[in-house]
Each structure stands twice: as structure tokens, then as C-alpha cells.
A = this chain, B = another copy of it.
């Protein structure tokens, strides 16, 4: 792991985003940049090692294959939200209304997607990610979607809850929050985007403006006190 020899081989294309990062973090960072810029098939472990400024052998000490790197990158885009949603769901209904919990989850998830390096959510649809070795990622995203469905169905106005099954609500809500991935392709997301997205999730469940406002206020207390 001689990241102390950064000029080994060709010079790195770009400096690492954080010079204090560990070798492992630098590898993930460089791989994220290359996968998003060039696609997966056109990125090799040699290119990743060169971009970090380490030898390929040093990269293999941390990751056996580029697919292993990709699996970890995908996990970082969904796992924080999954942990969060499980903690927030546990507060319903004693300490949080479903609407406030849904607002909080959508806002936290949107913020996570705002911060993924190189907007790696753009990799979700790549054909390579359908392979079995990414089952773990897809299972985690599936659990997140299920939680959206559960919270959405609990929060939903009667007419919506009656006409839209929880599974469909989950599909729609996770998709709505993932608009962050599209936004980041054309502009920098703003703090206001998070509120618009979380509020839209509640409106999609049939909640009116006063209910949306109440859930927004309650979610702030919720996030500062319990999460």
C-alpha cells in the first residue's frame, strides 16, 4: 500500500479529493470517478491504481476485483439511508407520526444521495449491476424501498391507502427521492430541493398542505432528538 510513492507509474490524472484519506478511501474515490466518467467495462484496476498513484499490486491488497470496488461504492449510496430508516421506523407510532417519519427518511435519503462521490447513483441502471454479485446491493435497496412503502401506506390519506398498495407506494417514493441523481447531472442540488422532495413524498400519499407543514416541523424535532 505504498501510497507514499505517488509518482510510481504515470502521474495521477487528478489529485485525490482528500489528501488525508486512507489508501482504501482513495481507491474508492478514484474508482467512483472512473466508473461514472467511462463506464464499468472501460475501467480497469490498472487505471484505478494509476489514478490513485499506487501500484496495481497495492490495490489488490484492498480489493480483489473492480466489481468488489463497485459493490462497496453502491453500498455507500444506500446503506446510510437504510440504517436511518430502520431507526426512524422504530419510533412509529409511539414517538413519531408516520408522516413525520416519512418526511425525515426522505430528507435524510435525499441528503445522502446529494453527497455520494461523483453521483454514483448514476451507476444503478448499468447493465453490469444486474449481475448476481450485486445481489447484496439490490437487496439493500429493496429493503429501503419496502420501508418507504410501509411508512407511505401508514401515512397515506384514506383514499390513497385504499387505492394504492404499499408496494406501489414504495416504488414511487424511492424513485421520487432518487430525482437527486438526475438533478446532480445538470445542477448543484440546493437545501430547498430536500424540502421539496420530502414534501412531494407526502403529497403523493395524499396529504394536504397543513399536514405536510406539520410533518415537516415534527420531523425536525424527531431528527434532532432521536436520530
8 A Cβ contacts from A164-221 to B: 164, 168, 171-172, 175-176, 178-179, 181-183, 185, 193, 196-197, 199-200, 203-206, 208-209
Partner pick for A171 among B38, B171, B179, B199, CB 8 A cutoff: B179
Q: A172 near B200 (CB under 8 angstroms)?
A: yes
Kindly name the residue among A123, A128, A178, A203 whose own CB sees the greatest number of chain B CB atoms within 10 A: A203
Specify how many copies of this chain sit in the oligomer: 2
Q: Count of A residues near B, CB < 8 Å?
A: 42
Residue of B nearest to A124 (CB): B125
For A208, what are the chain B residues with a Cβ–Cβ distance below 8 Å?
206, 208
The answer to the question of A23 belonging to the interface, with a C-beta cut-off of 8 Å to chain B, is no
Nearest 5 interchain pairs by C-beta: A159-B209, A175-B179, A41-B42, A122-B125, A41-B41
Measured CB to CB, the residues of A under 8 A from B are 36-42, 122-128, 130, 157, 159-160, 163-164, 168, 171-172, 175-176, 178-179, 181-183, 185, 193, 196-197, 199-200, 203-206, 208-209
CB<8 Å pairs between A and B, sample of 30: A36-B127, A39-B41, A39-B126, A39-B127, A39-B128, A41-B42, A125-B181, A130-B185, A157-B209, A160-B203, A163-B199, A164-B196, A168-B196, A171-B179, A171-B183, A172-B176, A172-B179, A172-B196, A172-B197, A175-B175, A175-B176, A175-B178, A175-B179, A175-B182, A176-B176, A176-B204, A200-B204, A203-B203, A203-B204, A206-B208
Please name 16 further chain A to chain B contacts, defined as beta carbons within 8 Å, in addition to the given A164-B199, A168-B193, sorted by A numbering. A39-B39, A39-B40, A122-B127, A124-B125, A125-B125, A125-B126, A125-B185, A160-B209, A163-B199, A164-B200, A171-B179, A171-B183, A172-B179, A176-B176, A176-B204, A206-B208
